[in-house]
Amino acid sequence: MKLLRELRAEGKGQDMAALLERIPYARFLGLEVDRKGNELTTVLPFAEHLIGNVALPALHGGTIGAFLEFTAVIQLLFDTESERLPKTVDISIDYLRSGRPVTTYGRAIITKHGRRVANVRAEAWQEDRSRLIATAHGHFLLTPVDE
């Protein structure tokens, strides 16, 4: 894939912020990534257009789902050199609390990294890491660089 190859050529193979800047949907969500050493946290600052329920108000379930999916994919791209963006095979999202109109954070762990498929878990929280608002686990199809 051109995008990932270009980033690697620019020495930005692990620069997930540079990647997000080039993905229109990530820009639409306003998605950011915070890197401390080899730890990544995805950050979704609150914005009006992410709301699903104006009465509460609460983030849209789809916003949270998309955020967790991004969190998983970014972790995969950070950990492995990939020829293409990983393709989601399936994702299962558990909604634990309503997302309040504040910044949301996400982390992902690769449970199992096979040659072609990876199993990833992701979680999202807001002000308090111990009070998760949603978790997800999914399978992603990989295209290793050497293929």
* Residue 144 in the binding site for another protein (CB under 8 A): no
Judged by CB under 8 A, which of 16, 42, 67, 133 binds another protein?
67
How many angstroms separate the CA atoms of 84 and 92, rounded?
22
* Of residues 54, 29, 5, the one with CA closest to residue 106: 29
Among residues 11, 36, 37, 55, which is the contact residue for another protein, using CB under 8 A?
55
Q: Beta strand pairing status for 117-125 and 132-141?
A: antiparallel
Q: What are phi and psi of 79, to 5 degrees?
A: -80, -25
Q: In angstroms, give the least distance from the CB of 4 to another protein.
A: 9
State which of positions 83-112 bind another protein (CB under 8 A).
Answer: 85, 87-95, 98
H or E stretch at 140: strand 132-141
**What does the block give as tokens for 29?**
């969500």
34, 39, 45, 56: residue in contact with another protein (rule CB under 8 A): 56
**123 part of the interface to another protein, by CB under 8 A:** no
DSSP 126: S
Return residues touching another protein (CB under 8 A).
Answer: 1-3, 22-29, 48-56, 59-63, 65-67, 69-70, 85, 87-95, 98
